[in-house]
Amino acid sequence: MLDIFRNKGLGSVVTGAMIVATVLVFVIQFNPSAGKTSAKLSKTCAATVRGTCIEPKDHRATYSILIPVDPHTHERMVGRARSMHLADTILDGLVERQLLIEEASRLGLTVSDEEITDSIFNGWMRVSIPSDDPSLGYSMGVKDGFLFNPYEGKPLQFWHDPKTHDFDETIYKRNLKMMVDCSEIEYREWQGREILAQKMRDLVKAPVRVSDAESLESYLGEKSSAQVSSVELNPEFAIVFGEVPKDADVDAWAKEHDKDVQAAITARKTDLGAPVAGHLKHILIKVSPKASAGEKIAALERITRAVARVKHGETFSEVAKVVSMDDGSKPQGGDVGDKTDSFVTPFKVAGDALKAGEMTEKAIETQYGYHVLLRDDPSRLERDVKRELYVKSKAVDWAKDAAGKIQADTKSGKSLDDATKAYLATFKPLALLGVVHDPSLAAPESDAGSASDASSTMIGDGGAPLAIAKQEINPAGDIAAPHSIDSASFNQGADPIPALGAADNTKLLAFAFGTAKDGEVLPELLQGAQSTYVVVLKQHKQATPEEFKKDRDAYTETLLVRKQAEALATYVKRLKEASKAEVKIDDAYMAQFHGDAGPEETDEPQ
């Protein structure tokens, strides 16, 4: 059967070659663009790569094979395919395939008719998936260019008799049309291109080797593990709970940093949210009028923190850009203009009562939640910018100073948690803002124990006030408060504190996997973009050469596969970058695969 099948394939190729040769003679003699590979102007291509057409039929055939199938109904999930951008992934793989084919041809690699026949006779189907993410191919059931059976650990066999497990030409012809809508000649051409591209992939991966020394080093780094405890000192905490800056201190600091201050003032004048005479700004923390007392208290805490940041030095507009929940005014620093006629009554009354530079002393309740309002005063811009720069600079200094104190206490014998709590105890609680209650709104349902608590306080002016059991924010419970946290277990290639820069992360890893003992404090403070960190080694486990010996063969093979995949991804990336200007995607063709994924559909793009 194999010889007959091979002869049929060879006969088709010979006949085709004669026809192609005749056509080529005509093209070479009469085509003014002889020597260039290009698609006809009227021909539809899913994409062109350096003038070579990627046939829609190849794209559709691969799409048909890889589209997800519902395991219960066995229907094709087109909606799911669209949401995962399957069509784009497949086209990216076909572009990669063409680039690899060009490289293979340049190096003299070819595919024989017998190789194609052997692949088909084995029942295999080859497809191209982008090499930059090996896990993507595995998730689609593709490995080394084959549609793969993960349970049997070998390529799927599409054209075999299920009873004899031998190649069956009848099954081949029938399933070929049904599965990928290809003729035998089209399928052979398709698979020939896939084999040639795979030869190039194999050629790129072939030189990659893994020595025993490299494997051991990688094993020890990957299998060794550590866990650290850390405390983050966030400057925002100091801004909220620190002292209100004194004008004399601000002026002295600004004089020393005059160049930076003037640059910031100039930039702020043209920034969204720059003060405009007579304009109102607001910060909104949304909460429903029907929310529980607990939800309203949480919202009140958030707006109290926002006001504290403004009072301690940050500009109102910069806080609004970060904190406010009014998406319309937030980008403009909370600016809502100078007209209040269209606003709800509590907002209008509070806004109209403000003079230039004044901010409401209490939270204004409306049907939207809690607001704090400010009447703009451009004459205060310079002073406000100076204060903001000063307080942010000092807050960063505070974070470093606080981290140093916690670190020292920990080195002296306290646990990291106890040292942090002791430091937090030096801060005073922050009083909650009062509320100007909207009498038209119903009173919230009290949380269990809130209204009946003997220490409850009624906050609100008029209407139905809010009954709460506390009047302040405890520094230790604040969202920016320093507290000890344990990392997940990590190895030497990890990033246990993502906010750290590369250099400090390297220091942390060297400490965790060096000679430090469990419970030892990292001698240096580590620095993120803003925050400072104190780190203690909680526990670590060092892998050993003896453990490596037991796992060497399997681990070395896994490492080799990983390094080969990395080498291929790097090679293909360079190919794509070099040919970026010569790859053209047909957006009109691809549009049929895009759009809202919607419900799971069973019909395919035509």
Instruction: Determine the Cα–Cα distance for residues 564 and 578; give it in Å rounded to an integer.
Output: 21
In the three-class reduction of DSSP (H, G, I as helix; E, B as strand; rest coil), residue 407 is classed as: helix
Instruction: Determine the Cα–Cα distance for residues 435 and 301; give it in Å rounded to an integer.
Output: 12
E strand map for 133-275: 142-143, 146-149, 154-155, 225-233
Confidence at residue 272, expressed as pLDDT on a 0 to 100 scale: 83
As a whole number, mean pLDDT of residues 233-260 equals: 93
Q: How sure is the predictor about 24, in pLDDT bands with cuts at 50, 70 and 90?
A: very low
Structure-token pair, residue 361: 């002393």
Sheet holding 146-149, edge to edge: 142-143, 146-149, 154-155
Residue 471: other Cβ atoms inside 10 A: 13
Tokens 């916690």 sit on residue = 406
Confidence at residue 499, expressed as pLDDT on a 0 to 100 scale: 92
Q: What angle do CA 401, 403, 405 make, to 5 degrees?
A: 70
Tell me the per-residue pLDDT of 159-217, one tens digit each, with 9 for 90 and over: 998 888 899 999 999 888 888 888 999 999 999 999 999 999 999 999 999 999 999 99
Q: How sure is the predictor about 17, in pLDDT bands with cuts at 50, 70 and 90?
A: very low
Among 27-36, 377-386, 513-522, 572-581, which is the least confidently predicted range? 27-36
Tell me the per-residue pLDDT of 64-87, one tens digit each, with 9 for 90 and over: 889 888 878 878 888 888 888 999
Q: Are 79 and 600 in contact (CB under 8 A)?
A: yes
Q: Are 579 and 49 in contact (CB under 8 A)?
A: yes
Instruction: Determine the Cα–Cα distance for residues 359 and 350; give it in Å rounded to an integer.
Output: 10
Q: Are 59 and 91 in contact (CB under 8 A)?
A: yes
Q: Which amino acid is at 428?
A: K
Most confident of 24-38, 110-124, 129-143, 583-597: 110-124
Per residue, the 3-state secondary structure of 152-180, as one string, reads: CCEECCCCECCCCCCECHHHHHHHHHHHH
Confidence at residue 416, expressed as pLDDT on a 0 to 100 scale: 96
Burial class (CB in 10 A: 0-12, 13-18, 19+), 141: middle
Instruction: Determine the Cα–Cα distance for residues 426 and 331; give it in Å rounded to an integer.
Output: 36
Confidence at residue 599, expressed as pLDDT on a 0 to 100 scale: 38
Q: How sure is the predictor about 493, in pLDDT bands with cuts at 50, 70 and 90?
A: confident
Q: What is the dihedral of CA 477, 483, 488, 494, to 10 degrees?
A: 120
User: Residue 510: which of 110, 221, 230 has the closest Cα?
Assistant: 221
What is the CATH architecture of 43-208+563-593? Orthogonal Bundle (1.10)
Give the β-pairing of 363-366 and 435-436.
parallel
Confidence at residue 470, expressed as pLDDT on a 0 to 100 scale: 56
Structure-token pair, residue 520: 């030892």
Structure-token pair, residue 89: 């992934």
**69, β-bridge pairs:** 76
In the three-class reduction of DSSP (H, G, I as helix; E, B as strand; rest coil), residue 578 is classed as: helix
Can you spell out the DSSP letters for 57-81?
HHHHHHHHHHS-B-TTT--B-HHHH
- DSSP one-letter code for 336: E
Structure-token pair, residue 247: 């004008």
More reliable by pLDDT, 192 or 453: 192
In the three-class reduction of DSSP (H, G, I as helix; E, B as strand; rest coil), residue 458 is classed as: strand
Q: What angle do CA 93, 98, 99 make, to 5 degrees?
A: 95
User: Residue 446: which of 469, 423, 480 has the closest Cα?
Assistant: 469
Confidence at residue 346, expressed as pLDDT on a 0 to 100 scale: 94
Instruction: Determine the Cα–Cα distance for residues 261 and 252; give it in Å rounded to an integer.
Output: 12
Sheet holding 363-366, edge to edge: 335-337, 280-286, 369-375, 363-366, 435-436
Q: How sure is the predictor about 463, in pLDDT bands with cuts at 50, 70 and 90?
A: very low
| Domain residue ranges of the chain, discontinuous segments joined by + | 1-30, 43-208+563-593, 236-399
As a whole number, mean pLDDT of residues 13-23 equals: 34
Q: How sure is the predictor about 111, in pLDDT bands with cuts at 50, 70 and 90?
A: very high
Q: What is the phi/psi pair of residue 585, to 5°?
A: -95, 135
The CATH classification of domain 236-399, taken from the options 3.10.50.40, 3.20.20.70, 3.40.50.12780, 2.40.128.260: 3.10.50.40
Burial class (CB in 10 A: 0-12, 13-18, 19+), 273: buried
Burial class (CB in 10 A: 0-12, 13-18, 19+), 579: middle
Q: What is the phi/psi pair of residue 205, to 5°?
A: -80, -20
Confidence at residue 443, expressed as pLDDT on a 0 to 100 scale: 57
Residues 6 or more apart whose Cβ sits within 8 Å of residue 152:
none
As a whole number, mean pLDDT of residues 549-553 equals: 95
Is 90 exceeded by the pLDDT of residue 132? no
Burial class (CB in 10 A: 0-12, 13-18, 19+), 417: middle
Instruction: Determine the Cα–Cα distance for residues 328 and 593; give it in Å rounded to an integer.
Output: 35
What mean pLDDT value characterizes the chain? 86
